[in-house]
Amino acid sequence: MTSINRFIQFNNETVDTRLLNRMEQLARALSSAPYLRLTTRKLWEFRPSEGAVSMSVFWRHRPKEIERAGYLSDIYLVSAGFWRHFHLGSWRRFQQAETSLPELAEQLLLMAEEFRLSDRIVAERPGTKHAFDVREQIVSGFHSDQLEQNRKKGFWADAFLNAAYLKLRGQEVSLSDELDPLFLIWTELFSADSTEDSVRTIHKVLPQLEYLLGADALHTYYTFGEPADKTPPPRYHEGIEADQSEEEEEIDTIEEWFQSWHRETELNDAAALEYELERGDSKLADGGREDEGAGEVEQTGSGESQGEHREDNLADEQRKDEKKPKKANGRFGSANDGVVYYESRIEALPLDRQQLQRWRSQQAPFVRALLKEMQKRMQQRIESERTNLHAGRLSKNLLPLVTDERPKPFYRKTAPSKQLDAVFSLMIDGSASMIDKLDETKQAVLLFHDVLRALKIPHEMAVFYEDAYEAGDAQQPNYFEWLHKFTDGSSDHAAEILSLDAHEDNRDGFAIRWMADRLKVRPEKHRFMLVFSDGEPSAYNYADNGIIDTSQAVSETEKMGIEVMHLFLSGESTSEEQAAFYRMLYGNKSVSADSLEQFVEQTLRLLKRTLHLVVQSS
């Protein structure tokens, strides 16, 4: 797991996930593309193979109002402007034209289109004007500074780009006697109505720029992203013959470009199914499966019997789960599409009974105190009366029948609850950085287990981690090791808890969604998920997008009615930066243990807080 205390301070930045989520929702709404992802990069750009658009980090480290307006203007441009009103055919033909200044030419066209589409968006959506006004003010100041620097250094192609931007904003700019006349042609963009009009203007300016300038642009102020001629790879599988005579459909807009990638991705996921439908099954074709009675048994089942074969069933379940990986297939967030995961019971090591007895003896006073407090609160709820009711039990005080115009002489006792209507799950980070905190983690998990067993509250506990050595572009193996499952009831799994071990990486967003998938079908009124971890998400290709993915997973889980709480375990005092980071991921439901000794204490506090909530609403 990567620590957020990075060695280089300027790398110690994290994405504001809540802001990014809001911007992503806006981009999806404006583009009518619910599959669209939003990321941050140096410049805004398009990446259809990832189903993503980017907004620029240019707006970071500015006042919050400016930062927000700048991001909004990026979103408006890519999802309400370029998305449907930028012509890809004209862009492709423009890129294919021979020129000695390809960088300058491409950036001039993107600049021209940004100018044209900004005006169009403001005309269609007047509420966007403020964001574009802020954008123009900040970017104009940036280009003015860049113009002076590029002119001093003799970077004339870059200086022309800067001056061209300022000219479109009505500012008086002079470069040289040779270059200044070109701005008369450049201002034809004020009347451009299409991408082709912008291309025509650039083609008028470009030959003279090639003659006057000795070198291409060095700086990048605009970039398109992936090449516009990059199309989804053809989809082939056995049983389907590709029709080579069929001509490719011409794609004219960025919306169609993204849709073609998205459609192809969905089809690839269903390729195996299509193969069965189109080709058929040879076994069934030869008379049906009955003719193959000697074939191998392909699947077995095991029940949840409490009898003498229970252990055998669990062993069979473990072997079966370990052998059969499951694919994420888009069910657990786009950042986890390549994940394959295994579910198994943790292998219990020989039990150290002395260690177990020592820990339980230390925790016994806390457990007894909590149980006593819970029983007292539950009894208070049972005995508390609600008076002055229209119906219920008749009170002994009948005076209101005489004195009140509308008497309410009845009362009711709160109905006693036989069991707390709650369910808990505990997700334990199994990454390598937990190696020095294993004993404290085991004690906290044991306390969690013992309290919930005593209260007869159903709960699950699982360790999650990713195999860093086997992870790659094709797939990322993840593992869930069960310490205790809902079906185990009040069984004691202390041996499994003491068998906890550290592994490699952690993919938190995926793990949270995986457990939420199990909790959402539970019938209990109150559902809680606790996450024990000691740092930020860290896995293969899971850096900034891991932070975003985890924040989204928490938000999605809470929308299901599942409360997510986080306990940050650290061997040293928690910094304000770390606390802010986890508040960004988990909101105000993240607490930290400033020392390893406090971990058990903080676990107890979390349990008390959640159980009090359950009792009060019972």
CATH number of 360's domain: 3.40.50.410
Residue 499, CA distances (Å) to 223, 347, 348, 437, 483 in order: 52, 7, 6, 14, 9
Distance between first and last Cα of the chain:
40
Alpha-carbon distance 17 to 38, whole Å? 11
**198-223 pLDDT, tens per residue?**
999 999 999 999 999 989 999 999 99
Helix (H) or strand (E) holding 413: strand 410-413
Same domain, 360 and 405: no
Residues 610, 563: contact at Cβ < 8 Å? yes
* Whether 118 contacts 110, CB under 8 Å: no
* The domain boundary residue, chosen from 164, 196, 212: 212
Nearest to 499, CA basis, from 485, 521, 520, 481: 481
Instruction: Give the pLDDT mean for 480-503.
Output: 93
Q: What is d(CA 155, CA 589) in angstroms, rounded to the nearest whole number?
A: 53
Q: Say how far apart CA 202 and CA 186 lie, in whole Å.
A: 8
Q: Are residues 512 and 389 in the same domain?
A: no
Which pLDDT belongs to residue 132? Answer: 96
Per-residue pLDDT at 581: 83
Residue 71: is its pLDDT beyond 90? yes
| pLDDT at 473 (0 to 100) | 87
Name the E strands within 19-109.
Answer: 37-41, 45-47, 52-56
State pTM to two decimals: 0.66
C-alpha 596/C-alpha 589 separation (Å) is 20
State which residues form the domain around 166: 21-212
Q: Among positive and negative, which fits the CA dihedral 364, 369, 370, 374?
A: positive
Within a domain: 548 = yes
Look at 603 and 94; give whichever has higher pLDDT: 94
Q: Is residue 139 part of a domain?
A: yes
Q: Which helix (H) or strand (E) holds 152?
A: helix 129-153
Q: How many domains does the chain have?
A: 3
Confidence band, pLDDT 50/70/90 cuts, at residue 287: very low
In whole angstroms, how far apart are CA 173 and each of 143, 168, 272?
11, 11, 61
**Do residues 501 and 401 share a domain?**
no
Together in a domain, 488 and 593: yes
Query: How far, in Å, CA of 39 to CA of 37, rounded?
Result: 7
Longest CA pairwise span in the chain (Å): 106
β-bridge mates for residue 544, sequence order: none
* Higher per-residue pLDDT: 38 or 580: 38
Residue 493 has pLDDT above 60, yes or no: yes
Is residue 573 one of the residues assigned to a domain? yes
For 8-22, the DSSP string reads SGGG-----HHHHHH
CA atoms within 13 A on the CB side of 618: 26
User: What pLDDT band is residue 12 in, cutting at 50, 70 and 90?
Assistant: low
Asked if residue 414 has pLDDT above 70, the reply is: no
Instruction: For residue 4, give the nearest of 536, 439, 473, 449 by alpha carbon.
Output: 536
Per-residue HEC secondary structure of 55-70 comes to: EEHHHCCCCHHHHHHH
**Nearest one of 559, 496, 561 to 526, comparing CA atoms:** 561
Q: Residues 305, 272: contact at Cβ < 8 Å? A: no
Determine the residue type at 328. Answer: A
Q: Would you state the pLDDT for residue 233? A: 66
**pLDDT computed for residue 245 by the predictor:** 41
In a domain, 336, yes or no: no
Do 428 and 566 belong together in one domain? yes
Dig out the tokens for 606 from the structure: 């979390």
At which of 169, 196, 212 does a domain end? Answer: 212
Same-domain check for residues 39 and 128? yes
Contact 237, 181 (CB under 8 A): no
Q: Which amino acid is at 610?
A: T
Q: Is 231 inside any structural domain?
A: no
Domain boundary residue among 192, 212, 232?
212
Residues 440, 407, single domain; the answer is no
Q: What are phi and psi of 505, to 5 degrees?
A: -105, 175
The b-or-e profile of 231-262 (16+ CB within 10 A means b, else e) is bbeeeeeeeeeeeeeeeeeebbbbbebbebbb
- The pLDDT value recorded for residue 606 is 85
What average pLDDT does the chain have? 82
- In-domain check, residue 9: no
Bridge partners of 506, per DSSP, are 538
Residue 66 has pLDDT above 60, yes or no: yes
Query: In this structure, is residue 427 part of a structural domain?
Result: yes
Q: Are residues 400 and 470 in the same domain?
A: no
Q: Which residues fall within 8 angstroms of residue 250, CB to CB, at 6 or more apart?
A: 89
Asked if the structure places residue 337 within a domain, the reply is no
Q: Are 501 and 406 found together in one domain? A: no
Q: How many CB atoms lie within 10 A of CB 488?
A: 20
- Say whether both 458 and 408 belong to one domain: no
Shared domain check, 487 and 391: no
Token pair of 410, please? 């009845």
Structure tokens at 382: 């049972």
* Residues 151 and 59 reside in one and the same domain: yes
Reported as a pLDDT band with limits 50, 70 and 90, residue 378 is low
DSSP type of residue 469: T
Lowest mean pLDDT of 196-205, 255-264, 574-583, name the range.
Answer: 574-583
Only one residue has tokens 């109150």, namely 526
Q: How far apart are CA 86 and CA 471, in angstroms?
A: 38
